[in-house]
Amino acid sequence: MPIQQTSISHHPTRVLTQLAVPLAIALVAATGATAPGLAQEGGDRARPGEVLAAMVGTWQGSGWSMNRTQERETFDVFERVESVAGGHLVMIRGRGYAPAGTGEDGRLVHDAGGIVRLTEAGGYEMFAATAMNGADGFAMEVTGTGYTWEIPLGPHGRIVYEAVFTADSWTETGQYCDPAGQCYPTLSMTLTRVAD
User: Which residues have CB under 8 Å from 165's CB, separation 6+?
Assistant: 54, 55, 145, 146
Q: Residue 14, exposed/middle/buried by CB under 10 A (0-12, 13-18, 19+)?
A: middle
Q: What does each C-alpha distance from 48 to 40, 53, 54, 71, 117 come to in angstroms?
A: 13, 8, 11, 35, 6
DSSP secondary-structure letter at 119? -
pLDDT interval class at 67 (50, 70, 90): confident
pLDDT of residue 22: 37
Tens digits of per-residue pLDDT, 21-34? Answer: 333 333 223 333 33
pLDDT bin (cut points 50, 70, 90) of residue 130 is confident
Among candidates 165, 154, 140, which has minimal Cα distance to 56?
165
Mean pLDDT of 109-120: 94
Looking at beta carbons, which pairs linking 47-51 to residues 24 or more positions away fall under 8 Å? 47/86, 47/87, 47/88, 47/118, 48/83, 48/87, 48/88, 48/89, 48/90, 48/116, 48/117, 48/118, 48/124, 48/142, 49/83, 49/84, 49/86, 49/87, 49/88, 49/89, 49/90, 50/87, 51/124, 51/142
Could you tell me which residue, 101 or 5, shows the higher pLDDT?
101
Task: Tell me the pLDDT of the chain averaged across its residues.
Answer: 81
Q: Which fold has domain 5-195?
A: Lipocalin (2.40.128)
Separation in Å, CA 167 to CA 71, 92, 172: 32, 17, 15
CB atoms within 10 A of CB 123: 14
pLDDT digits (tens, 9 = 90+) for 45-60: 899 999 999 999 999 9
43 pLDDT exceeds 50? yes
Average pLDDT over residues 93-112: 96
Q: Report the pLDDT value the prediction gives residue 74, as an integer from 0 to 100.
A: 97
Question: How many angstroms separate the CA atoms of 189 and 173, rounded?
Answer: 7
Q: What is the mean pLDDT of residues 146-151?
A: 94
Q: Calculate mean pLDDT across residues 91-99.
A: 97
Q: What is the band of 5 on the pLDDT scale with cuts at 50, 70, 90?
A: very low
Q: Give the C-alpha separation, 128 to 60, whole Å.
A: 20
> pTM, whole model, 2 decimals?
0.75
